[in-house]
């Protein structure tokens, strides 16, 4: 017999893995892949929640405290981030610089990196939704992950997606 609890844990692991794959295979500008993803659970997930609580105190922000409670309750967290690497266009300017060379020189953030991240995260949460796994995109947990250097140091932007399989969506009725 496989209990409901065991089945739910297996579902979270499988869906989180599918989400990372969806982020990896999502379309990217010029086919250049600057996306990085990983899955946190157990103590790593709890360390992220503790960092969020500390940030909440530092910034006097209830958002970080509320979201830390969600992260602690979640079964797993999928982190998806982007490196800051201009894609080599000679005409663009979407980043505020005249071209990719100027963006790189000034250590700007390429608009296509952000766009690629949005597409990757959208693909990932679509996977979760198709498998009936509750989720929510959180910038706060992503910011804490970036401060911790996970999934790798130096990422420009990280978004976090906590996952839950319970009788009620813990990410819906938030105060």
pLDDT digits (tens, 9 = 90+) for 47-98: 999 999 999 999 999 999 999 999 999 999 999 999 999 999 999 999 999 9
Close Cβ partners of 83 (under 8 Å, ≥ 6 residues apart)? 34, 36, 113, 154, 155, 156
DSSP string computed for 9-31: HHHHHHHHHHHHHHHHHS--GGG
pLDDT at residue number 172:
82
Q: What is the distance between the alpha carbons of residues 166 and 156, in angstroms, rounded to a whole number?
A: 33
Give the Cα separation of 8 and 26 in Å (integer): 26
| pLDDT confidence of residue 83 | 97
Confidence check: pLDDT of 25 > 90: yes
- In the prediction, which pLDDT does 95 show? 95
What mean pLDDT is predicted for residues 101-120? Answer: 96
Distance in Å from the first CA to the final CA of the chain: 38
For residue 173, what pLDDT is reported?
76
Largest CA distance in the chain: 62
In three-state secondary structure terms, 37 is strand
Residue 106 and residue 86: Cα distance in Å, rounded? Answer: 11
pLDDT digits (tens, 9 = 90+) for 115-168: 999 999 999 999 999 999 999 999 999 999 999 999 999 999 999 999 999 988
* pLDDT for res 26: 98
């Amino acid at each position: 017999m496989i209990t409901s609890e065991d089945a739910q844990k297996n579902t979270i692991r499988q869906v989180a893995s599918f989400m990372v794959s969806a982020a990896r295979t999502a379309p990217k500008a010029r086919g250049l892949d600057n996306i990085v993803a990983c899955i946190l659970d157990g103590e790593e997930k709890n360390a992220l929640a503790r960092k969020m609580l500390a940030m909440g105190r530092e910034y006097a922000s209830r958002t970080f405290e509320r979201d830390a409670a969600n992260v602690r309750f979640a079964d797993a967290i999928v982190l998806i981030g982007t490196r800051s690497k201009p894609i080599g266009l000679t005409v663009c300017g979407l980043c505020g610089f005249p071209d990719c060379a100027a963006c790189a020189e000034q250590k700007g953030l390429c608009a296509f990196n952000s766009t690629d991240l949005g597409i990757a995260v959208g693909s990932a949460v679509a996977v979760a939704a198709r498998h009936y796994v509750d989720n929510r995109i959180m910038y706060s947990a992503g910011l804490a992950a970036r401060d911790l250097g996970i999934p790798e140091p130096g990422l420009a932007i990280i978004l976090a997606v906590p996952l839950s399989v319970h009788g009620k969506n813990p990410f819906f009725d938030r105060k």
